[in-house]
Amino acid sequence: MEKEDVKVLNKGEEEEMELQGYRLCRWRLALVGIGVLCTGGFLLLLLYWMPEWCVKSTCNRTTARDADVVLLRSTDEFRRWFLARVRVMLAPGSNPFHSLETQTTSPSSPSCPFSSLSLANGHTPNPSDGSHAQELIKRYADYQPTQIRYFTFHSTKYYWNDGLQNFDVFIGLDDLHVSCSNLHSEHSAGLTKNQQEYRRLFFGVNEIAVKVPSVFKLLIKEVLNPFYIFQLFSVILWSADEYYYYAVAILFMSVISIATSLYTIKKQYIMLHDMVATHSVVRVSVCRASNEIEEILSTDLVPGDVMVIPSNGTIMPCDAVLVSGTCIVNESMLTGESVPVTKTNLPNPLPGESGEEDDSAYNTEDHKRHTLFCGTHVIQTRFYTGELVKAVVVRTGFSTAKGQLVRSILYPKPTDFKLYRDAYLFLLCLVAVAGIGFVYSIVLSILKKEPAKTIIIESLDIITITVPPALPAAMTAGIVYAQRRLKHLGIFCISPQRINICGQINLVCFDKTGTLTEDGLDLWGVQRVENGSFHLSEENAYKENLVKSQFVACMATCHSLTKIEGQLSGDPLDLKMFEATGWILEEATEEETSLHNRIMPTVVRPPKQLLPPEPAVSPEQDMELYELSSTYEIGIVRQFPFSSALQRMCVVARLLGEKRMDAYTKGAPEVVASLCKKETVPENFAEILEGYTKQGFRVIALAHRRLESKLTWHKVQNINRDHIEGNMEFLGLIIMQNKLKAETPAVLQELHRASIRTVMVTGDNMLTAISVARDCGMIPPKDTVIIADALPPHDGQAAKITWRYAEKLSKTSCVEEVNISLEEVCHVDEPKTQELYHFAMNGKSFAVISEHFPDMLQKLVLHGTVFARMAPDQKTQLIEVLQGVDYFVGMCGDGANDCGALKRAHGGISLSELEASVASPFTSRTPNISCVPSLIREGRAALITSFCVFKFMALYSIIQYISVTLLYSILSNLGDFQFLFIDIAIILLIVFTMSLNPAWKELVSRRPPSGLISGPLLFSVLTQILICLGFQTITFLWVRRQSWYTVWTPLTDACILSSHLNVSDHNNTEVDDHNIQNYENTSLFYVSSFQYLVVAIVFSKGKPFRQPSYKNWPFVLSALSLYVFLLFLLFHPVKSIDMFLEIVCVPFEWRVKLFLIILVNAAASVLVETFILDIVLWKLVFSRDKQGSFGVTPVAATPQGAIDLRAYKCLSRLCCPSKMAPKARYMHLAQELSVDPDWPPKPTTTTEAKSLPENGSSYQIMTNS
């Protein structure tokens, strides 16, 4: 094997990483140690910041197998480096699933097919693990102790696998790819004590350990941030230069900043620790291989253990699959839905009837209806007499569903935002400028023969002037204020850095149910079917004549409702349906169940007032027989829970007194109709169904089948649902109404006006989703909806997409007119007549298109508005695809199944305050989407504030740099108290008040730029630098040309009225070693002080993203006070203040000239920033950046808008004669599609995947004949 090999971990997964092996090298370590001593510890800091340098400078490359240290690099766009120490443990075997005993219930597999999934695993072994291993090795003397190499990274253990010649992860029982029947036959008896201990060596302690770091650890980590190190360097330097006051001020600010940061981080760790600690250690009963029940701590559980679920419920300490009994579980921790879910035991196909598809390998995703997930609350269990409710442990620790959620919170991906990358680039530019000043000051000082100490301090001082140490605190201020404003709006933020990113959002995905619409459903009506034809729709089924009909029996039995503490509980849809019948549900108590040898069925019966009156009882009739015959009740014998894959649920029930059983099914109308006899489904079924779905109703179909008399109770308990769900009779439809929330249409209209795209991502039916999208204004009435139906490859045929319209187009519209254009900006006077189109697709089509038409998918999401029947992971994939075409994506969901998407989006807002919202950066107290525009508005305000502050801080450092550089040429400098006045009285006061502007009251149709490296911002900064440089240079040169000018000394003071005696007395007592007091210094101090205030005012932007600066009274008050104070100082010198600031007295006419310089400087700054930049360049960039309706630039709303747009076109022809390509990928795609004659696809076409892509395209469009 080559030494330079690079291994890939978790291939194809989200956490894919490249791995390189290294061995420690002593001589390299010694050299680094010497380097650390020589640099005073700075090299150590550098190696701490750069893990790859640390490893490469202290180690030699080796194979991954022999490595002491592994260097890891993520393969995502961030390409981050990590290092991990390789450890060695001794164990009796190399595989957790090896059998150490001759007789065991666990399979002895010589080689375990390791999985390459990137799921989290394990926990670092306890100190006791070593002794466990020693004991096991002694106990199994025949076994040769094996050395196992492993490393831990992000709470996951990676073990060396000789078979794969790579490090790999042990996840759990999934590694064995065990089938459902094998799970029952080979894994349901339990493990021996020895097997459990052996497996624990590999899987570790079953615990999701969120260690809350000590304040000291957090402090060290925070203080070692490069910014704080630079601040420390600055403080030391200023102290050496006797500049104590500002050093103390910066030190104080840094301490406050670090303390706030530590408090926030610590609080988040404690919150997460408390969230996972609820189930970390509980006592559980496990079945041993010797048929004994043993009570152990949940931390000792390992995959393969058989756990007994107590009847009074528990919080699950691991992921486990039910092998006997039934559980009712609250899964709100994972899904956000507080609705109890019924979990049934894993089906055990009998050898005679099991086909290939029936006995599939167990998988937590496919068999989630049988899996109890870690952290979920088992409310109650139902069981057979003499049989316990048992579950086989599948995964433990960080491998569990909850463990993965916690890991994603503990180790999030960094937020990639142009602003932060540009900020570092900008700082590098400032460092380069500082480097020039550094060299300049050294050369100048040497030529003037300055002492060495002065040269070192003054040259290093130039660096601290150019790179402002107060920058981090200043940048944070705007975000802190925005966070505070969001809190007042009821929006809570756990990731403050995301607020700025929210200012860039130009597309928002919405979940439907509970987000756009009300949470619950209301029964709108029912439409029964008899003899193959529909009755008229009826308001409800609560009628005497229907009480004994199969339709009502199906409504009363086909559900997963249960009674918890006397209250009916379950899916809201089931609840509404059952309540509409008016029937009563009764469940057997534990005592009743224990008297029988099977689970007592749940019984439903109608209220007595609905039953027809019975004839009076005669005395000779047996009362008991009479009661039995007059009672009408149905027992639910077996439930097949709702499956999202099958889109239906089914129950087997028996009417009291009947021998034969009945099967009732409810589900998606198309699915249920396909299971029924054709003659029982009305001919106009599709037409009626489409009529309801177009109106936005949720439609559920019901069906019934009379089962054969040979099907006994025992057979029903073991039968596969496919044998029951077929050959049924269609009973009719239930029509449910899901009302829009009152705020929804107005909010979507506001987003549309702001040119922010809105997309619906839902698990609901396609046509219902399209209808809701039309109702709420997401799809305007005249727009066309094109449905993409994709089919996977089948019988040798390639995958294909068929295109159809959701509804027939009106006569006035025509398919050929449907197009997309970026050229609309050139035809301002012509109103846009083309009709827009929207794509809609379901989850299955999305999966097929993702796999077989990857380049088509990007084109579809450009106009995709409705994504229906989407699974949780597909929602996340959609967000990724949208981000892949350069959209800034917001996601708003109610926490139910939206966790992944909320985390992945640039700005995820959860409307649920349940635990699932821990994964979301933002949580809204207001349970509607009105929080979305509020968040975007605040994000835009915070982003503009960040630009203003950054620009101001850059100008502040450059203005001061210019002053100091000019003064260095005459061996002068600014005085300590001049620096102090500028840095504290002007800069800090202005920075912390200019960030207070609240957000603008409405969303406008343009976005702030995303980065600092953009035309207008660079133009703004550079022009202001040149203006300031020009006016300071003019002042510096002009003062030296004045008739009264001479080199200043106390005796040659230019002020005629000043008392020479007093001045000389003052200066005799304090000798001016640093040559601070001179005419150049005083003149530059006045001009530069006003320059700081001028740039602060011109940079403090208001409309259209923030409220105008005059509404920010702390800023106005601060700026006015400083103006008044400086003007007073200029025209009315106060001796004590002049002495304090080391200002010299200058003639009155020079003061007037200085005032004129300041006025002209201010006028130039305002003119350039307000007129040239705001009116011309700002609009030029925004017009190009504006995306409008899905890539089409909206027509200017006002005559002024049209004039501005014409002006922009003229200017763009002058400035940029060659056509500029749009920056964003989605705009580039829109431009391509605008000239594509085959786009959008016509309803008569089919798009087929090619096996070999030609010309970069992986599909071809064909017209159906």
Confidence of residue 358 (pLDDT cuts 50, 70, 90): low
Give me the pLDDT at residue 81, please: 87
Choose between 584 and 796: higher pLDDT. 584
Q: Residue 1256 pLDDT more than 50?
A: no
Kindly state the average pLDDT of the residues 865-877.
84
- If you average pLDDT over residues 117-145, what whole number do you get? 49
The predicted pLDDT at position 354 comes to 44
At 1103 the pLDDT is 79
Contact 521, 699 (CB under 8 A): no
CA separation, residue 134 to residues 143, 150, 159 (Å): 12, 18, 19
DSSP sequence for 197-213: HHHHHHH--S-------
Token pair, residue 94, equals 């190399």
Global pTM reads 0.73
Give the pLDDT band (50/70/90) at residue 351.
Answer: low
In the block, residue with structure tokens 């760790």: 269
**Percent residues over pLDDT 70 in the chain:** 79
H or E, element range at 22: strand 17-24
pLDDT, tens only, 987-1033: 888 888 888 888 888 888 878 877 777 777 778 888 899 999 999 99
Alpha-carbon gap, residue 220 to 226, rounded angstroms: 12
- In 175-318, at which residue ranges do the beta strands (DSSP E only) sit? 283-287, 293-297, 306-308, 314-315
Predicted confidence band of residue 890 (pLDDT cuts 50, 70, 90): very high
Instruction: Decide: helix, strand or coil at residue 286.
Output: strand
Q: Which residue did the predictor score with more confidence, 488 or 696?
A: 488
User: What is the H or E stretch that residue 480 is in?
Assistant: helix 471-488
On the CB side of 847, CA atoms within 13 Å amount to 13
Residue pLDDT, tens place only, 224-247:
877 788 888 888 888 877 777 778
Residue with tokens 């239906």: 648
Cβ(486)–Cβ(493) below 8 Å: yes
Predicted local confidence at residue 120, as pLDDT:
30
Per-residue pLDDT band for 104 (boundaries 50, 70, 90) equals: very low
Of 5-9, 113-117, 217-221, which range is least confident?
A: 113-117
Residue-level pLDDT at 1131? 86
The answer to whether the beta carbons of residues 498 and 479 sit under 8 Å apart is no
Q: How confident is the model at residue 589 (pLDDT cuts 50, 70, 90)?
A: low
Instruction: Reduce the secondary structure of 493-518 to three states and give it as a string.
Output: ECCCCHHHHHCCCCEEEECCECCCEC
Beta strands in 276-435 (DSSP E): 283-287, 293-297, 306-308, 314-315, 319-324, 326-330, 340-343, 371-372, 377-382, 390-395
Q: What pLDDT is attached to residue 1162? A: 93
pLDDT tier at 1160, thresholds 50, 70, 90? very high
User: Cβ distance 511 to 916 under 8 Å?
Assistant: no
Q: What is the rounded CA–CA span in Å between residue 526 and residue 503?
A: 47
Q: Angle at Cα 221 formed by Cα 217 and Cα 226, nearest 5°?
A: 160
pLDDT in tens, 1173-1201: 766 655 555 444 444 334 433 333 333 33
305 touches 321 (CB < 8 A):
no
pLDDT at 1031: 93
Evaluated on CA atoms 747, 750, 752, 754, the torsion sign reads negative
pLDDT confidence bin for 972, thresholds 50/70/90: confident
The pLDDT confidence band at residue 1261, using thresholds 50, 70 and 90, is low
Sign (positive/negative) of CA torsion 1158, 1162, 1163, 1165? positive
User: Poorest-confidence range of 178-187, 334-343, 441-450, 545-554?
Assistant: 334-343
Mean pLDDT of 640-660: 81
pLDDT at site 458: 75
pLDDT at 1254 over 50: no
The tens digit of pLDDT for each residue in 651-673 reads 998 888 788 888 999 988 888 88
814 compared with 439, residue with greater pLDDT? 439
End-to-end CA distance of the chain: 59
Contacts 24+ apart (CB under 8 A), 956-959: 956/468, 956/987, 956/1092, 956/1095, 957/430, 957/465, 957/466, 957/467, 957/468, 958/433, 958/466, 958/1025, 958/1028, 959/1028, 959/1032, 959/1088, 959/1091, 959/1092, 959/1095
**Model confidence band, residue 722 (pLDDT cutoffs 50, 70, 90):** confident
DSSP string for 632-662: --EEEEEEEEEETTTTEEEEEEEETT-SS-E
Confidence of residue 876 (pLDDT cuts 50, 70, 90): confident
Torsion of CA 879, 884, 888, 892, to 10 degrees: 0
What token pair was written down for 691?
Answer: 């009529």
Phi, psi of 909 (to 5 degrees): -120, 120
Kindly report, residue by residue over 1064-1082, the tens digit of the pLDDT: 444 444 455 667 788 888 9
Contact 457, 237 (CB under 8 A): yes
Structure tokens at 600: 């007592």
Give one DSSP letter per residue of 917-964, joined into a string.
GGGSSEEESSSSTTHHHHHHHHHHHHHHHHHHHHHHHHHHHHHHHHHH
At residue 106 the predicted structure's pLDDT band, cuts being 50, 70 and 90, is: very low
Q: For position 4, what pLDDT does the model report?
A: 55
Q: Is the peptide bond before 145 cis (omega within 30 degrees of 0)?
A: no
> pLDDT tens digits, residue range 479-500?
888 888 988 888 888 777 788 8
- Compute the mean pLDDT over every residue in the chain, rounded to the nearest whole number: 77
For residue range 153-174, what is the model confidence (pLDDT) as tens digits? 888 889 888 888 888 888 888 8
Residue 511 — φ and ψ, nearest 5°? -70, 155
In the chain, what percentage of residues exceed pLDDT 90?
8
Residue 285: pLDDT over 80:
yes
Both tokens of residue 268?
Answer: 């988040």
What tens digit of pLDDT does each residue of 376-405 get?
888 878 766 567 888 999 998 888 888 887
Residues 6+ apart with CB under 8 A from 1203: none
What residues are annotated to the active site? 511
| Residue 690 burial (C-beta neighbours within 10 Å; 0-12, 13-18, 19+) | middle
Q: State pLDDT tens for residues 535-545.
A: 887 877 777 77
> What does the pLDDT read at residue 1044?
80
Lookup: tokens for 783? 């727009």
DSSP character at residue 832 = P
Residue pair 370/309 in contact by the 8 Å Cβ criterion: no
Confidence check: pLDDT of 908 > 60: yes
For 854, phi then psi, to 5°, come to: -60, -40
pLDDT at 830: 35
- Residue 1022, beta-bridge partner list: none
Three-class secondary structure of residue 264 per DSSP = helix
Residue range 319-330, pLDDT digits in tens: 999 988 888 887
Does residue 1156 carry a pLDDT above 90?
Answer: yes
Confidence of residue 875 (pLDDT cuts 50, 70, 90): confident
For the ranges 431-435, 832-836, 955-959, the lowest mean pLDDT is seen at 832-836
Q: With a cut of 90, say whether residue 1163 has pLDDT above it.
A: yes
Average confidence (pLDDT) over 786-793? 87
**594/681: higher pLDDT:** 681
Residue 74 has pLDDT above 80, yes or no: yes
